[in-house]
């Protein structure tokens, strides 16, 4: 079969031939139609993501959309290593597939699943978001961040605060439902004051896609907001601004901040699949959407080198 094969850590996948996998006990074979290229897929291919096994070669891809032997269209997650989703065929545990709604296109489902899961899992499985609460999305201008704003509203958040550096992108986030925006590129003292005002008014949940300096500022500001502020569930999802922060210990001792992560490992696979089903069923009624570019699997090397806000989805023609 044809597949996107990563021969060694950090190498660009090449389009080549590899023997098709056969399902083992408890597994199903999936004829793949679409698989999205996400940051976590890139990280796993580079060998740097915490979920990687370190063994190569591998087939790239974390999740995808395809058909089972009986023709049922499904979304699938975490194929058996080393078989990823960027191939004509993959194998996955039978419990790790979710039926697709009839009104949801394969490419749209593949594109939206990973970035949408990042916030939906954070809200539902980690923060336990309740209707009427206030959410702050740190890093709301990227694909996942924009969806995080829309999903928070869909799940009942009364108010959503969005942070980002790109003014034009923040305008778009406002159109998507953000009630307030905070520019991250302002003077550090002004930024700290701005977010502290929001925390003093009450923020229940923070979902953080950036980490780094902005996360430090948010955590310190939340602690400074004082005892009158509501307890905050701070959920760390991504590290676009850097893998580390410097966090003064009094921040946690002097506040009711609950600091947690959300991702593969902190959310069990069965919970991820349950969330995926909820997300995919909500795409049409909630009018969730992202800018998507479909490309043939044979163009994986070109896709890997591409940059931009559009989510690339590789298709097999199946």
pLDDT bracket for residue 256 (50, 70, 90)? confident
Q: Sign of the C-alpha dihedral, residues 33, 37, 40, 46?
A: positive
Structural domains of the chain, count: 2
* Confidence at residue 148, expressed as pLDDT on a 0 to 100 scale: 98
Q: How far apart are the first and last CA of the chain?
A: 12
For residue 47, pLDDT over 90 is answered with: no
Domain match, 119 and 82 both: no
Domain match, 89 and 120 both: no
* Confidence at residue 228, expressed as pLDDT on a 0 to 100 scale: 58
Task: Quote the CA–CA distance of 188 and 132 in Å, as a whole number.
Answer: 30
Packed helices 106-121 and 143-154: angle between N→C axes, nearest 10 degrees: 70
For residue 197, pLDDT over 90 is answered with: yes
Task: Quote the CA–CA distance of 120 and 124 in Å, as a whole number.
Answer: 6
Domain match, 22 and 124 both: no
Q: Residue 205: give the domain boundaries.
A: 115-261
* Confidence at residue 8, expressed as pLDDT on a 0 to 100 scale: 87
Task: Quote the CA–CA distance of 125 and 72 in Å, as a whole number.
Answer: 28
Q: Do 187 and 117 meet the contact criterion of CB atoms below 8 Å apart?
A: no
Model confidence over 95-133: pLDDT tens digits? 999 999 999 999 999 999 999 999 999 999 999 999 999
Q: Which residues contact 204 (CB under 8 A, 6 or more apart)?
A: 127, 129, 130, 133, 134, 135, 230, 231, 232, 233
Instruction: Find the CATH number of the domain harbouring 253.
Output: 3.90.180.10
Q: Phi-psi region for residue 13, left (φ > 0), alpha (ψ -120 to 50) or beta?
A: beta
* Confidence at residue 229, expressed as pLDDT on a 0 to 100 scale: 62
* Confidence at residue 24, expressed as pLDDT on a 0 to 100 scale: 95
On whether residue 219 sits in a domain, the answer given is yes
Give percent of the chain above pLDDT 90. Answer: 81
Domain match, 209 and 173 both: yes
Mean pLDDT, the chain, integer: 93
On whether residue 247 sits in a domain, the answer given is yes
* Confidence at residue 234, expressed as pLDDT on a 0 to 100 scale: 97
On whether residue 266 sits in a domain, the answer given is no
Mean pLDDT for 30-41 is 94
On whether residue 29 sits in a domain, the answer given is yes
On whether residue 109 sits in a domain, the answer given is no
Domain match, 153 and 91 both: no
For residue 50, pLDDT over 80 is answered with: no
Domain match, 151 and 247 both: yes
On whether residue 289 sits in a domain, the answer given is yes
Domain match, 191 and 306 both: no
Domain match, 124 and 232 both: yes
Q: Which helix or strand (DSSP H or E) is residue 14 part of?
A: strand 14-17
Domain match, 6 and 142 both: no
On whether residue 98 sits in a domain, the answer given is yes
pLDDT bracket for residue 317 (50, 70, 90)? confident
Task: Quote the CA–CA distance of 55 and 275 in Å, as a whole number.
Answer: 29
Token reading at 133: 């609460």
Q: What share of the chain is helix, strand, coil (3-state, %, to 5)?
A: 35, 25, 40
Model confidence over 126-181: pLDDT tens digits? 999 999 999 999 999 999 999 999 999 999 999 999 999 999 999 999 999 999 99
Mean pLDDT for 284-308 is 92
Domain match, 9 and 42 both: yes
Domain match, 256 and 303 both: no
Confidence (pTM): 0.91
Task: Quote the CA–CA distance of 252 and 243 in Å, as a whole number.
Answer: 19
Domain match, 140 and 240 both: yes
Model confidence over 178-192: pLDDT tens digits? 999 999 999 999 999
On whether residue 253 sits in a domain, the answer given is yes
């Amino acid at each position: 079969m044809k597949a996107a094969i990563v021969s060694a850590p950090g190498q660009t996948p090449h389009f080549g031939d590899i023997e098709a996998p056969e399902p083992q006990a408890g597994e199903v074979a999936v004829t793949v139609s679409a698989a999205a290229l996400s940051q976590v897929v890139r990280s796993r291919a580079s060998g740097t993501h915490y979920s990687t096994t370190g063994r190569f070669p591998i087939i790239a891809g974390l999740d995808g959309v395809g058909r089972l032997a009986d023709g049922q269209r499904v979304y699938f997650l975490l194929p058996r290593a080393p078989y990823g989703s960027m191939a004509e065929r993959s194998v996955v545990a039978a419990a790790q597939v979710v039926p697709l709604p009839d009104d949801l296109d394969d490419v749209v489902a593949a594109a939206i699943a990973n970035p949408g899961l990042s916030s939906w899992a954070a809200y539902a499985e980690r923060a336990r978001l309740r209707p009427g609460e206030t959410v702050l999305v740190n890093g709301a201008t990227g694909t996942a961040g924009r969806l995080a704003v829309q999903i928070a509203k869909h799940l009942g958040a009364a108010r959503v605060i969005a942070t980002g550096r790109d003014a034009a992108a923040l305008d778009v986030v406002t159109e998507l439902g953000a009630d307030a925006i905070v520019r991250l590129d302002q003077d550090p003292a002004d930024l700290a004051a701005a977010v502290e005002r929001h925390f003093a008014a009450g923020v229940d949940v923070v979902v953080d896609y950036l980490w780094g300096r902005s996360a430090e500022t948010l955590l310190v500001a939340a602690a400074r907001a004082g005892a009158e502020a509501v307890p905050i569930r701070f959920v760390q999802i991504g590290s676009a601004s850097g893998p580390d922060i410097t966090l003064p210990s009094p921040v946690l001792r002097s506040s009711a901040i609950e600091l947690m992560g959300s991702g593969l490992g902190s959310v069990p696979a069965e919970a991820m699949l349950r969330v995926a089903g909820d997300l995919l069923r909500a795409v049409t009624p909630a009018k969730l959407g992202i800018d998507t570019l479909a490309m043939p699997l044979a163009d994986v090397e070109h896709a890997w080198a591409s940059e931009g806000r559009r989510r690339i989805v590789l298709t097999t023609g199946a």
